[in-house]
Each structure stands twice: as C-alpha cells, then as structure tokens.
Amino acid sequence: MPSPHSRRDFLKACGAVAASYWLHPSCSFGRDFDFIIVGGLVYDGSGKDGVFNDVGIKAGRIAALGDLKDRSAQQKIEAHGLAVAPGFIDFHSHSDEELLLGGEAQSKIRQGVTTEVLGQDGGSLAPLNEKMALQLVENFKERFGLEVAWRDFAGYFRNLEARGMISNALSMVGQGTLRELVIGEDNRPATAEDLAQMKQLAQEAFAQGAYGISSGLEYTPGSFATTEEIIELCRSMNGRGIYSTHMRNEDETLLEAIDEAIRIAREAGVALNIAHIKASGQRNWHKQGEMLAKLEAARAGGLQVTCDRYPYIAYNTGLSSLFPLWSRDGGDEKFVARLQDAALQDTLRAEVWHEVEKIGGWRSVMISSLTKHPRRGEFEGKTFEEIAATGADPFAKLFELIIAEEGGGNMIGFAMSEEDTTALLAHPYCMPASDGSALGLEGRLRRGNPHPRSFGTFPRVLGKYVRDDQIMSMAEAIRKMSALPADTLGLKDRGYLRAGYWADVVVFDPNTVADRATWAAPFQYPAGIPYVFVNGELVLAHDKLTGKLAGKVLRAPFSA
C-alpha cells in the first residue's frame, strides 16, 4: 500500500488539476510515427512505478518509448497530468453477443478495456449442434434484429471480424456448451462415447483459436458433470490452456468446491483460474481466509493459479439459480412445468427460501432484467422486499416472473462483504474483471437494470480502491488489469507497453477517474478516461468514439 507521502507526490506529479489535452493533426507523409502520446506518466504494466515518457505508435504497435519531443507524428496527444497504461484486459466478460454490434458496445471501451475474454461460466457461442444453432438464429433475430449463423468457432470468429469489433476478443470453450451439444440438458452420466466426442469437439475449438475451457458448475447442464468427467475433458488441452471455473458452490460448500477445482487442474495438468471468486452469504464470510490459503498452497505446489473478481459486493445471475438443480433438469421447458406443478409448490418454496435466506432475505434479491413479462418495467431494479411491500407474495411473484420469462430472467444478489471484496482485489494474483457485458446508453444494448459492473469495473478500481482507499498502488492495479491477464493467457505481445507490442493503450486522469454507474442508475459511462487505442488506432478521443472498429479476434497460439 502506498504511503500518504508517496500518494501526495504522485498527485503533485500528475497535477492537482487535470491538464488540458488535445490532438495535433498533421500530414502523415514522412512522419516518424502515426501517434505520439506526449508527457504522460507511463506505466508499462510490469508493476514498476510510472515514469514520465513519450510513447510513439506506428503501424499498430508501440514503436518507441522515451523523449520523442523532436520526432514527428501524424497526431500528437498531449498527456501532461495524465497516466498512460496498457489497455485493460477483462478476463471475465460476457460480451459474446454484444461485440457483434460493433460500435454500439461502448461500455467496456470507455473503461479502457481493449481485450475481452469471452466464453465464460461454461457457456460459449460455439460449437453448436443443429438445435442450438437454430436457437442462436432466433435469439439474435429477436433481440438485435441480426441475421447470424454459425456452428463452430471459425464461423463465430468470422462473424465478429466481418461486422467490425470495437475491442479485441478471445474466447474459452464452455464445458456446459459441450455437454449440451453431445448429451443435451438431462442429468445423466456421460458415456465413454459422449466424453470422446466432447474431447474431440474441444480440440477442434482449440484448433480454431479457443484459449481453454470454462465451466459453470452451478448452472445446468454443466453442473451434471462429475469431477472425473471434467478432468478428462480438460486433458484435451494437452497441458497448454487454462481451466477457468465458476465453481460448483460459492457459499455453503465453498471450500470443497475449491478443492475440486484444484484437483481438476492438477490432474488434468493445466492452469487454474477461479472465476469471480467470493465467499457468498454472511455466514460464509469467515471462510475466505482458508479459501485463499488453499489457493496459495496450490501455487506453492507448482500449480499456476489465478482468480478474478469484480469490485462490488453483489453478483448477477439468473433468477433460476434460486431453485435447486433437480428442478432445472431437462432444460427450461421442464423447469417451467415444475414451477406450475401444484404438488411441488411447497417443496420448491422451502428450497428457494433456503437460498434466499443465505444471502440476507428478499431485500438482497434485486431483479435486473426481464425480456418477456408484459410489465417488466415495473419490476426491473426492484428488490423482492420492495415488491412484497405492495402486498405481493414474493414467492408467487418469483414464480410468475420466471414462468413469463420461459425459465429466464436475471437478478442481482447482495451477498458479499466490502472487507472481503477489498482483500480479494488487493491479492497479488486476483485480476479485476467485470463479469459483465459491453452495453450502451441507447439503442439495442440499453435494456433492463444491469449490474453497474458493466459500466464501472475498471475505473472503480482506479478511483475508489487505488486513489481513495489506497489498498494497492497504481502500478500494481495496472499490472493486475493488463500484464497479469496477458501472462495468464499467454498473450506474448499484449499487456505491456513495450516496443514491438500491439498498441492497446489507455490514457486516463488519475485525479478524476471514477465509476458513475450505480445500482439504481447503472447506465452511466465513467469519468476520467479520455483516450483509448486499440491496435494502434485511436478508438476513443476526448471521451468520444472516433468510429474506428480496430479490434481483432485473438486466436490461441496453439491453434496454428
């Protein structure tokens, strides 16, 4: 943690008042660089303190760092009083669909995110069987008015590139997606033939550029897999990728779930990442120390272990997660039928209350988004306690909403402590990540009452947790949002500001950078991030999008 003295020195160096900044256009003919970022406090991503420097960009890459005041450029960006850092890598993103809408998907780029890691929590947009592909077509047509079609990662990646990407993206392959493709949505063991087919599909995904395997073991159908099935599936990576898991449990059996995740990675011979790590529910908060001790012991034993976490005390998931796994067996249609079965009402109510009580009661469950309910606007952004205050039975309302949503609907659960959140964010191998989607203030990507993390994750870390709370240094926070995820994924030429690396760059004001999105009003872009480069193209300038769609699909190095 920086001392108050070092913080004062830093703020003085950056200027107590944000310096003015502008673009100097000039003829590109014969210029040394396409861009020079002049006079900023440059953090290279390594965790070292920032140094005042110029950054030269040419042909998409960092061409030089140093004193470039006498060198020419097509455009110069005055960055005195500002910090310059590698573009942030959102290790846990759900922008799989949204990035297909090009420049509409603004909320991450405005946070300085230049690369998003998709295919999380066991769900990816490839590979697909015929039924899944048809559902994809219908979903995109209904939600976005888009005509899309693919079956594998090659097709998905072609669609992303053809439509133009506002940021870079790479994808995991979802263990739940593989299981749905091969077995369906039923709770049954995988046969030897099933497992062989899933492994073959996974290897085809890797050959097309997928980076590893994700699991979402609190969601169906991935949750129906045994530990041994997941170990064998992860062996399809041949020790080259990463297993990123939304564990089987994050509350009552949290420690057992940690043990399972470590066992899977160790026996499969792959790196491990614990997704959105947490001890959920007040009666489980005391487990966080032992949870981290288990991960540290695994690291000491030679296992590559990381985790990611958003800087908020509430999670975002489906309303269906309040219901037991047995009720969700077989997919949404069977789930909805069970909700309407009078003989199951008492049993379901008891099991739902067990889940709700763990996170603090109905006041801790907020409806974030609905898509089909005719009065959805009345409920989005409301807690079930607020709904109950109108005289409604919260159980009956929950059942009603999920039935209207045909098994869907999303919620925000306030279940974590601020003290634990701070400790996790400060942990050296915990990567700040949004677990959210790239959204917008208008149009097709403004919907519901989403978790503010989709708009505020990275500036919240820089503003609240670094500048205000001082839980870690600026250099360390930047390392954990750029170099650490790049190194974890094996991105050889991203995550650092070094000559020859791709010019993914964020320029921000350390004195004013802040999240603005709130639980009640999430649709607000952050403050203090005026410039973002993606692959050497200026995508955000003076807080405005330039119209450049400079992102690329990043394919795994073992795809060749």
Strand order in 88-90's β-sheet?
A: 88-90, 113-118, 168-171
The DSSP symbol for 50 reads: P
Do 307 and 274 form a contact (C-beta atoms < 8 A)?
A: yes
What sign does the dihedral 430-431-437-442 (CA atoms) show? positive
Mean pLDDT of the chain: 93
Quote the tokens at residue 437: 């989607």
pLDDT at 559: 60
C-alpha to C-alpha distance for 294 and 290, rounded to whole angstroms:
6
d(CA 23, CA 37): 10
Amino acid at position 186, single letter: D
Separation CA 365–CA 387 (nearest Å): 11
pLDDT range class, residue 557, cuts 50, 70, 90: confident
What secondary structure does DSSP assign to 348-401, as a single string? HHHHHHHHHHHTTSGGGEEEEE-SS-TTHHHHTT-BHHHHHTTT--HHHHHHHH
Q: How confident is the model at residue 30 (pLDDT cuts 50, 70, 90)?
A: confident
Closest CA to 338 of 325, 350, 353, 328: 328
* d(C-alpha 27, C-alpha 50), whole Å: 31
Q: Are 370 and 380 in contact (CB under 8 A)?
A: yes
Amino acid code (one letter) for 398: L
Mean pLDDT for the stretch of residues 465-475: 98
Place of tokens 């919620």: 411
User: How would residue 375 be classed by pLDDT, with cut points 50, 70 and 90?
Assistant: confident
Exposure string for 261-273, b = 16+ CB within 10 A, e = fewer:
bbbbbbebebbbb
The token duo for 302 is: 């030679």
CA distance 537 to 34: 9
pLDDT tens sequence across 45-64: 999 999 999 999 999 999 99
pLDDT tens digits along 272-324: 999 999 999 999 999 999 999 999 999 999 999 999 999 999 999 999 999 99
Give the type of residue at 1.
Answer: M
The string over 351-365, giving b where at least 16 C-beta atoms fall within 10 Å of a residue's C-beta and e elsewhere, is bbeebbebbeebebb
Please give the Cα distance from 92 to 174 (Å, whole number): 13
**Alpha carbons 486 and 482: distance in angstroms, whole number:** 6
Give percent of the chain with pLDDT exceeding 90.
92
Is a pLDDT exceeding 60 seen at residue 530?
yes
Residue 431 has pLDDT above 60, yes or no: yes
Q: Three-state DSSP class for 113?
A: strand
Name the residue ranges covered by the structural domains of the chain. Answer: 316-414
Q: Give the pair of three-digit tokens for residue 164.
A: 């133009």
- Between CA 441 and CA 477 the distance in angstroms is 27
Give the pLDDT score at 21.
34
d(C-alpha 365, C-alpha 382), whole Å: 8
pLDDT given at position 543? 93
Cα atoms in the 13 Å half-sphere on the side-chain side of 413:
25
Give the Cα separation of 98 and 166 in Å (integer).
10
Of 342, 347, 410, residue with least CA distance to 376: 410
Omega prior to 189 cis, within 30 of 0: no
pLDDT at position 256 is 98
- Total-model pTM: 0.93
- Rounded to an integer, what distance in angstroms lies between the CA atom of residue 92 and that of residue 171? 10
- Which secondary structure element, helix H or strand E, spans residue 466, and what is its range? none
For residue 259, with 0-12 CB atoms within 10 Å meaning exposed, 13-18 middle and 19 or more buried, which class applies? middle
Q: Is 302 exposed, middle or buried (0-12, 13-18, 19+ CB in 10 A)?
A: exposed
Q: Give me the half-sphere count of Cα atoms (radius 13 Å) on the Cβ side of residue 417.
A: 13
Cα distance between residue 25 and residue 298, in whole Å:
53
Distance CA 217, CA 228 (A): 13
Contacts of residue 375, Cβ cutoff 8 Å, sequence gap at least 6 = none
Strands 61-66 and 51-58: antiparallel
- For residue 377, the model assigns a pLDDT of 86
> Where residue 3 falls among pLDDT bands split at 50, 70, 90?
very low
- At 29 the pLDDT is 58
CB 126 within 8 A of CB 155: yes
